[in-house]
Amino acid sequence: MPLETPVRIVRELAARGYNAEQAAVTLIASTERPGRTLERVVEHVDDAALRITADDVRDALGDARPSSDARDAETRADDVSTMENGAETIEDDVSAVGGDAPNRGERDASTPRRDETTNPGRGDAPADVGESGSGSQDPSVSTGDERGYRKTEAGSGSGNVPEETAGAASGGGTSPGDAAPAASRTVDPSLRSLEVAGDVTGQSTGTGEYGDFVKVFRDRYEKLSKQLRGRVNHRPATAIQSMSGGTDAAMVGLVNDIRSTKSGHWLVELEDTTGTFPCLVMKDREFAELVDELLLDECIAVEGTLSDDAGIMFVDSMHFPDVPRTYSPNTADRHVQAALVSDIHVGSQEFEADAWTRFADWLHTEEAERVEYLLIAGDMVEGVGVYPDQDEELDIVDIYEQYERFSEHLKDVPGDMEILMIPGNHDAVRLAEPQPGFDENLRDIMSAHDARITGNPSLVTVEGVKVLMYHGVSLDEVIAELPEEKASYDDPHKAMYQLLKKRHVAPQFGGKTRLAPEEKDYLVMEEVPDVFHTGHVHKLGWGKYHDVLAVNSGCWQAQTDFQKSVNIDPDVGYAPILDLDTLDMTVRKFA
């Protein structure tokens, strides 16, 4: 069923150089032939006009149309073709969700309610990493089943209109569907707060020299050993080296080497700021499987007994910086929501523009009224030269044009939303992590909505809720190195649990994830986040680890040739919607 959305009207007007009052858009949308009305209005208004008002529309219509004819919006199907793309109804697509994500549960798509939230967990208690509460509830995925949009807000900031006249944050109007008073985004920006910490933007001092590596490792050790010191009675490596055989000892160190011995035990060499010490994990100890989880350069603590010759420690227990089991997450003081998305990949032939438009349209509906934040975890655009042969699948070959197009898509979301974005590996910033936020040039291009632009990673506190945003390149590594049940593409949130346990977003230096040494280790999770949001692997998955919500938010790019060749089946067009007051989450599908 075709349906003109206000967004499309706003876009059409913007393309002709006009901004519009919300009530004007509503009026146009409520006429029998919105496309024709729009043309008539444009012909009618003064050439010098920048902003179309409701009066302009009434004048153009000669006020002949009684307001009640908004009733027939449902049956309008005629001149849609004059509107860009002709709008489509969003399909009930629950079966598709159930199909490719059998564990995620389903719910009746015909009755999605915005307060119908779900506890995260995808039905799997993350037993492997020790779990408190959560996890076992039925998570649900709802569809973006939004027939008959009610919301008629002027999309704001569209096109080339002056900032100050950009669409209002709220306002009345009539619903095209039923002539009832339109739902409006009655947001109050003064209630909002959004602070950023841990952002490398503007702070990068690294030159890649040896000294930088020493500094960054020292800082990592400092920060992570602090989490472990209280739990073991540790000694520096040099002190342990001079202890006598048979004594108990404990050490906190970065994993320098992991080797298996001839008899199948594990030799883990730990390094602290004074030196290294070899620690032996016997294969028959119950914690031996923890060695499977270890990544080089992560920080752990061990307790054990020194061998008779004091040359090695027999490990009795192993500890990770971890999230305390008693961790109690922060929540917002009011009912407000954030949409968590990532990996939009504008500029790729596989970018799913229609899905994005449906999402943006939905954000204008009453149901989405409380979605006041949009947090984007990287890969805004497809980029250029990111992977071999990538150019064969580019829709836009110029990187700046890609950002310009992305900016256009960003304008589709309500102008009153608070947007924050970090870069990913496809974005035009340095590849090595921590990645600084976009430069001035790109910021200018993406100036719509005055989005907050920060580095990858960033700890973003949204109305009290600490959201750690990280693009997620290290997830590939965690998934490659750890056993399937601890981290896999099908359960990307489990790989995230591992990062939470290590309290570091990308532990391993010299592996696949490119890291830049800085004075500080920006990749350490000094504070426990309440929500950990990543993307990159293009798979949807979420769950709670010690009450921290881990969300990997899927993507807006259909399967690429490369992904086909390696059997990556991306989860496209999902928008996890997080209640900041309860940390419950609902996932909506728009593809």
The footprint of Zn ion on residues 414-453 (CB under 5 A) is 424-425
Nearer of residues 29 and 344 to ligand D5M, judged by Cβ: 344
Q: Shortest gap between Cβ of 565 and ligand D5M (angstroms)?
A: 9
Question: What Å distances lie between residue 302 and 231, 233, 319, 389, 499, CA to CA?
Answer: 10, 10, 6, 46, 19
Residue type, 543: G
Q: Is 562 in the site for ligand D5M (CB under 6 A)?
A: yes
Query: Which range in 24-32, 81-89, 329-337, 562-570 contacts ligand D5M by CB under 6 A?
Result: 562-570
Query: Which range in 75-83, 196-204, 350-358, 536-544 contacts ligand D5M by CB under 6 A?
Result: 536-544
> What 8-state DSSP symbol labels residue 250?
E
For 333-373, where are the alpha helices, taking DSSP H only?
Answer: 353-363
The answer to whether 402 and 386 have CB atoms below 8 angstroms apart is no
What SS3 class is residue 481?
Answer: helix
Q: Is 536 in the site for ligand D5M (CB under 6 A)?
A: yes
Q: Which does 11 bind (CB under 5 to 8 A by kind): Fe ion, Zn ion, ligand D5M, none?
A: none
Q: Is 537 in the site for ligand D5M (CB under 6 A)?
A: yes
The answer to whether 21 and 169 have CB atoms below 8 angstroms apart is no
The values of phi and psi at residue 577, to 5°, are -115, 120
The answer to whether 542 and 335 have CB atoms below 8 angstroms apart is no
Q: Shortest gap between Cβ of 427 and ligand D5M (angstroms)?
A: 10
Strand 248-260 to 299-306 pairing: antiparallel
Q: Is 379 in the site for Fe ion (CB under 5 A)?
A: yes
The footprint of Fe ion on residues 226-265 (CB under 5 A) is none
Q: Which does 562 bind (CB under 5 to 8 A by kind): Fe ion, Zn ion, ligand D5M, none?
A: ligand D5M
Nearer of residues 35 and 424 to Zn ion, judged by Cβ: 424
Q: Which does 476 bind (CB under 5 to 8 A by kind): Fe ion, ligand D5M, Zn ion, none?
A: ligand D5M
Q: Shortest gap between Cβ of 291 and ligand D5M (angstroms)?
A: 25
Q: Shortest gap between Cβ of 536 and Fe ion (angstroms)?
A: 5
Helices and strands counted in the chain (H then E): 13, 20
Q: Is 490 in the site for ligand D5M (CB under 6 A)?
A: no
The answer to whether 98 and 22 have CB atoms below 8 angstroms apart is no
Q: Shortest gap between Cβ of 504 and ligand D5M (angstroms)?
A: 19
Nearer of residues 344 and 446 to ligand D5M, judged by Cβ: 344
Q: Which does 537 bind (CB under 5 to 8 A by kind): Zn ion, Fe ion, ligand D5M, none?
A: ligand D5M
Both structure tokens of 241: 């080296």
Q: How far apart are the first and last CA of the chain?
A: 16
The answer to whether 64 and 81 have CB atoms below 8 angstroms apart is no
Query: Which range in 39-47, 137-145, 156-164, 561-569 contacts ligand D5M by CB under 6 A?
Result: 561-569
The footprint of ligand D5M on residues 411-470 (CB under 6 A) is 425-426
Residue closest to 402 by CA, chosen among 356, 449, 446, 346: 346
Question: What Å distances lie between residue 132 and 89, 327, 343, 491, CA to CA?
Answer: 41, 10, 30, 18
| List of residues contacting ligand D5M (CB under 6 A) | 343, 379, 387, 425-426, 476, 536-538, 562-563, 568
| List of residues contacting Fe ion (CB under 5 A) | 343, 379
